[in-house]
Chain A
Amino acid sequence: MTTTQSPPRVSGDGGSPRRGGRRDRMPGVGAGEKAVGLINGGFLLLWGLITALPLLWAILSSFKTNGEFRVDPLGLPSGVQVDNFSRAWSAANIGQYFLNSVIVVSISLTLTMLFGAMGAYVLARYDFPGNRFLYYLFVGGLVLPVFLALVPMFFVVRNLGSLPVVGQFLGLNSYLSLALVYVAFSMPFTVFFLTAFFRTLPTSVAEAGIMDGCSHFSLFWKVMLPMARPGMISLALFNFLGHWNQYVLPLVIMQDGDKRVLAQGLGTLAATTGFRADWTALFAGLVIALLPVLIVYIVFQKQVQAGLTAGVLK
């Protein structure tokens, strides 16, 4: 074979003779092309700045004094005002909201993954009358806008609160209620995604388990669920972000001030910040809310991007 067959990627040293001769006619290397490349790079950088700067500004603002914030919002903070964070945490109640979010999301994420996996597993690997119906019942939920459900959902939760015995855990302003609402609204995508995932797992392993005398239950817990770990992880990340960032559902369920979750509490705080003239505490609260998400994003960057975009493609 002649040298012209070599892939261009490795010809960075100038390319093969024939390639070199044609170079001027190739749009990839002309001087004008270089300018275009620079302009393109400029656009990319510009969008990077447009994305990053407002957030960096918010983080810097959380370190400033209120005086600095008002007089010189674009400047760098003179020092780190740790007090902003303690005011946000206690006076502005962000600490309580943070705790509420942690409690609700711990419950909702555990139950979503557990029940989602159970439902998806049965729908994926067991044939029974009504299987397809249930599957489409779940998947159909993907296209329903959350707003239509808000009003009746409020009453469903309120009415469950007046049930005997269990009612005290299930009414409005209850962690468990909000968590169960999150679970319900996460079911369509979770079941959809995990059903597809369980279908891809090899049957041979399951058969081996049956030969060893596994019951249906132990087959799921000891064999199938561990094998589904990669799918479970990306879905757990997806659901974590969705639950942690949820704004409209808690607005309906958690009407009592002390039960607000973070995103909702920040929204209320933002609405009153102007009157209290304490902007830096608001931004400190914002940074507190942002930290868990930032950590998850940095640690699981690839999985988060893959997991969230898979939501559209599947």
Chain B
Amino acid sequence: MNMRHGRYLFILTFLLPPVGIYAIYMLSPYVQAIYISMTDWSGLTAAQTFIGFDNYVEMWNDDQLHKALWNNLILVLVVPVLTLLLGLFFASMLNVGGRSRGGAVTGVRGSSIYKVVYFFPQVLSVAIIGIVFKYVFAPENAGGILNRVLGAVGLDGLQRLWLAEPDYLIWIIVLVMTWSFVGFYVVLFSAAMQAIPRDIYEAALLDGSSRLTTFRKVTVPLVWDTVQVGWVYMAIQAMDGFATVHIMLGINGGVQGAGDVLGVAMYREAFAEADFGYAAAIGVLMLVLTMVAAILFMRGLRRERVELA
């Protein structure tokens, strides 16, 4: 066959650029990270000594890192749960929440407009989202609209210097991240719900099943595969939080470092404290946590599915 001629030349030419760039800029950093995490490298000079697991021991004793780790756990536990509940709720409202006069199950009116609006945060840069919410929660004399709104509706008592209260910080981050995630999952779950045959709903309706029962016994089980995938993806996303915290609270994680997360701690150690070895060790910790979270989240829902089936 004449195609044989030059076949390997072709394969090689086509593979070299993508594989080369991927190997240099993405794979090699990951491989190096593990080694760097076992050195005391400052990053400023070439001098680096192999110190074994010292950086990992240091993490064990680092109170600020514990704070960051704790905050990451809050993010990874709370954000996906909130996002999942709100996402499923709104998606089912949009797609099967309507009832036409004859009793048919339909989407509500204007559902496509809702989807466009809900989804919009997903296409925005986290930088923009962070900036907008920095001002939503700002003090009243610096444009803080939340306090303004509270004042306008007579809830002055609830006004706070939101970003100056250490106890609030991570919960504000939870709210902002949930806000930006929900729309994506509404659209994702909507696509799955659109695929459910309408007859099933009509049968459930004729059996006199309530909305809540229909939601629990029909909608949720039938979109479960999508929920499972989305749920794991949420866990990985929630592990991040870097840009939101970095922009809203700054490189130290806000007042008393109370809103610190691992990503920000890592960036700070590397580029502000010139401790690249330690930063790389935090990176390795993040990898392990992400993997563990992904596996646990996968397990968590799989068990539930058996129960429902």
Contact = CB atoms under 8 A, between A and B. Distances in A.
A74 B145 contact: yes
Nearest to B232: A312
Given A43-B93, A61-B143, A147-B266, A263 B125 contact: yes
B283 A150 contact: yes
A148 B11 contact: no
A147 B14 CA distance: 29
Contacts of A156: 24-25, 28-29, 32
Given A9-B104, A12-B100, A148 B284 contact: yes
Interface in B220-265: 226, 229-230, 233, 236, 239-240, 242-243, 246-247, 250, 262-263
A156 to B, nearest CB: 6
Given A145-B290, A149-B33, A304-B123, A8 B136 contact: no
Contact of B32 (A15, A152, A216): A152
A152 B93 contact: no
Interface in A76-107: none
Nearest to A115: B18
B183 interface: yes
Interface stretch (B63-71, B73-81, B164-172, B207-215): B207-215
Nearest to A271: B250
B131 interface: yes
B202 interface: yes
A26 B143 CA distance: 51
Given A26-B206, A33-B99, A73-B143, A270 B131 contact: yes
A242 B94 CA distance: 27
B294 interface: yes
Interface string B19-58: 1011011111110110010000001000000000000000
A37 B99 contact: yes
A151 B3 contact: no
A37 to B, nearest CB: 7
Chain A contact patch, size range: 35 or more
Interface in B59-112: 86, 89-90, 93-94, 97-106, 108
A213 B294 CA distance: 49
B25 A180 contact: yes
A149 B132 contact: no
B177 interface: no
Contacts of B6: 215-216
B99 A187 contact: no
A12 to B, nearest CB: 5
A19 B103 contact: yes
Contact of B208 (A26, A43, A246, A293): A26
B179 interface: yes
B33 A152 contact: yes
B102 A144 contact: no
Given A147-B286, A191-B18, 14 more contacts: A9-B104, A9-B106, A33-B211, A51-B179, A58-B132, A70-B143, A73-B143, A147-B242, A153-B29, A216-B7, A247-B246, A248-B267, A271-B250, A297-B120
13 contacts: A23-B103, A29-B103, A44-B93, A52-B117, A115-B17, A137-B27, A141-B22, A152-B36, A180-B25, A183-B21, A210-B3, A217-B10, A290-B124
Interface of A: 7-12, 14-15, 19, 23, 25-29, 33, 36-37, 40-41, 43-44, 47-48, 50-52, 54-55, 57-58, 61, 69-70, 73-74, 111, 114-116, 118-119, 121-122, 126, 128, 134, 137-138, 141, 143-145, 147-157, 160, 180-181, 183-185, 187-188, 191, 210, 213, 215-217, 220, 241, 244-248, 251-252, 262-264, 266-267, 270-271, 274, 279, 282, 286, 289-290, 293, 296-297, 301, 304-306, 308-309, 312-313
Q: Which 8 A-B pairs have the closest CB atoms?
A: A184-B25, A119-B18, A245-B125, A28-B103, A11-B102, A152-B29, A263-B127, A216-B10
